Chains A and B, each alone.
Chain A
Amino acid sequence: MTGQVAVVLAIVAAYMLAIVLIGYTSGRASRATMEDFHMAGRQLKTLVLFSTVFGANISAVTFIGHPGNAYHVGWVAWPYFVTSWAWMTPMFFYLLGRRAWPLGVHFGHMTISEIVAGRWKSPGLAVLIAVIIIVYTVPYLMTGLTGAGITLQALTDGFIPFWAGALAVSVVVMIYLIMGGMRGAAWVNTLQTAVFIVGGVLIFVVIAQSLGGPAAATEKVIENFPELYRRDRMGWKQFFSYGLVTAFCVPMFPQVFMRLLTGQNPKALRQIMMIYPAPAFLIFFSMAFLGMWGHALIPNLQGREADAILPLLLSQYAPTWAMGVLGAAVFSAMMSTMDSQLLSLTTIIVRDFLTRTKFRGTCEKNQVRISRVLVLALTVVSFVLSLRNPLAIIRIVEFAFAGFACLLAPTIAALYWKRCTKQAAIWSVIVSQVVLLGLTFGWFGLQKSWTFGFLPALPAMISGAGVLILLGFLSGPADDEGTRQYFSFFEELVKRSA
């Protein structure tokens, strides 16, 4: 082991120890109730709420998959995400949060399935949505571990193998999550989010300086790989459809949606909306340029090899101390998403499946114990799956994001469209998922070429929304107990604020 590797490992180890300590300390204030373990008692204030929601959103994609994508397609990678998601997601916080948050407080709902299916009191719809969310969250969860393995391997020049990096991150996340639940994770996320925002900017400044400044680095790209400075490697149809996908999917991430419900009040939600777009732009803009400059400096990386471009740049162009600190920033982004995904999957399994079985009668203390065991089991499963991950991170998330985005239309309908029926919501979910899978993999008699250059998510979302509207009008108006309960509650809210 070289001195450089020892310094990097010491800094990363110290950082992980600090995280475990924060998780342990904040976990001591937790009570053994489901509300506390999964929702932190719905008492998070603005700063912690922003950190945990933003941390849940910023993942291995940002520091690994996104620069890897920019390595292949150029600077266009940043508006690919930022010119829709960075500002559209906070607007959806308003659209969904202003109704979902009070519903959560009033009815004790914790998951997307409970909020949506609670509208029609439909266990079938709840299970359908829960299964879809789990199916798309697991591969997304794997990308965090993949990113951790790639990063530590590259920063230590291969001294720490891929599996050991992924294992280290799995163990740390599991420990603070089991000890502190949502409350512990939220406080850890506060540190992590601060570290990755500041670290992300530092990474950019340190590497840009060592390359002679942004202008010199860009000039190298224009001279040697002009197609990256133009937009030859990405068509506008893909750009257009992905903008819709990223804008529509994030509010449907279970880890983001559920954390919106943990806010102390709507004012906290409004305040995080105002903060959100700024760091989102800063990080994605800087990481895309680093990825593009990386192509001129370390050419010939093929396919998913480019996912290692940021750690490779760090190891070759940053001083040793900076590599350790900046490595911690990359880990922060990955762990903050992983912990929220693990916790949200646990909440979904307990609330949407186990409480519908004979576990319904079990006391809260036991439900929290089961939740802790589930965190352990899900971490092990994700770690094992990450070792077999064959695809580039950006390809995995593009598919998973599309699956989440298809759930937005029925969710909005559940909260706003009184006429909409349970049948319309169920068929909208089924049709959009069938179209997405069919156009992506060529299943169900559908062909990949039918997307005409757009991403399969676009026709999937349109067909899901079309079915929802058509069946909503044909089978409506809804006249069931759940609908009456929700909409009389909304009317009550309007009266209270008037």
Chain B
Amino acid sequence: MSRRGKVLFLLATALMLARTDFWWWDETFQPILFGWIDLANLYHIAIWVAGYVLVYFTVRLWGEEEGK
């Protein structure tokens, strides 16, 4: 695997660790968005978006490796 590929999977590992927000797991949040989404929900949405970005760069990498 190329160096860029290894970096992408290292970032994926970091994201997999960061997804467990244990530091505020027991805290109580109130909805802050549309009356039903709280900060913890927003954090997890951000993790999903970051993961999607990693998928985008992985697809680009694969395309370049294939020479297309």
A interface residues with partner B (beta carbon < 8 Å): 75, 78-79, 82-84, 86-88, 90-91, 94-95, 98, 213-215, 217-219, 222, 226, 229-232, 235-236, 239-240, 243-244, 247, 266-267, 270, 273-274, 276-278, 281, 289, 416, 497-498
Contact = CB atoms under 8 A, between A and B. Distances in A.
Contact of A218 (B27, B35, B47, B67): B35
Contacts of B27: 230
Lowest 6 CB-CB distances: which A-B pairs, in order?
Answer: A87-B51, A215-B35, A218-B36, A79-B44, A240-B20, A236-B22
Interface string B29-63: 10100111010110010011001101110110111
Contacts of A497: 65-67
Contacts of A277: 48, 51-52, 55
A236 B54 CA distance: 24
A226 B55 CA distance: 35
Contacts of B54: 87, 91
B16 A84 contact: yes
Please classify how large the interface on chain B is, using the bins under 10, 10 to 19, 20 to 34, 35 or more: 35 or more
Contact of A214 (B9, B16, B35, B38): B35
Given A91-B9, A231-B25, A274-B56, A281 B35 contact: no
A460 B8 CA distance: 25
A497 B54 CA distance: 23
A83 B21 CA distance: 12
B68 A281 contact: no
Contact of B31 (A218, A267, A273): A218
| Max chain B Cβ within 10 angstroms of own Cβ: one of A83, A90, A95, A235 | A83
B18 to A, nearest CB: 9
Interface of B: 1, 8-9, 12, 16, 19-22, 25-29, 31, 34-36, 38, 40-41, 44, 47-48, 51-52, 54-56, 58-59, 61-63, 65-68
* Secondary structure class of chain B's binding surface, majority of residues: helix
Given A88-B12, A91-B12, A82 B58 contact: no
A82 B55 CA distance: 14
* Secondary structure class of chain A's binding surface, majority of residues: helix
Contacts of A289: 36
A94 B35 contact: no
Contacts, number: 106
12 contacts: A79-B48, A82-B44, A84-B51, A87-B54, A90-B58, A214-B34, A215-B36, A218-B36, A270-B59, A273-B55, A277-B52, A497-B65
Contact of A276 (B28, B31, B36, B55): B55
A216 to B, nearest CB: 8
A219 B38 CA distance: 12
B44 A94 contact: no
A94 B62 contact: yes
Contacts of A217: 36
Given A88-B51, A91-B12, 15 more contacts: A78-B44, A79-B47, A84-B16, A87-B52, A94-B58, A98-B62, A222-B31, A231-B40, A235-B25, A239-B20, A274-B55, A274-B59, A416-B1, A497-B65, A497-B66
A87 B62 contact: no
Nearest to A289: B36
B65 A98 contact: yes
| Max chain A Cβ within 10 angstroms of own Cβ: one of B8, B36, B52, B65 | B36
Nearest to A241: B20
Contact of A231 (B26, B34, B61): B26
Nearest to A90: B55
A235 B55 CA distance: 28
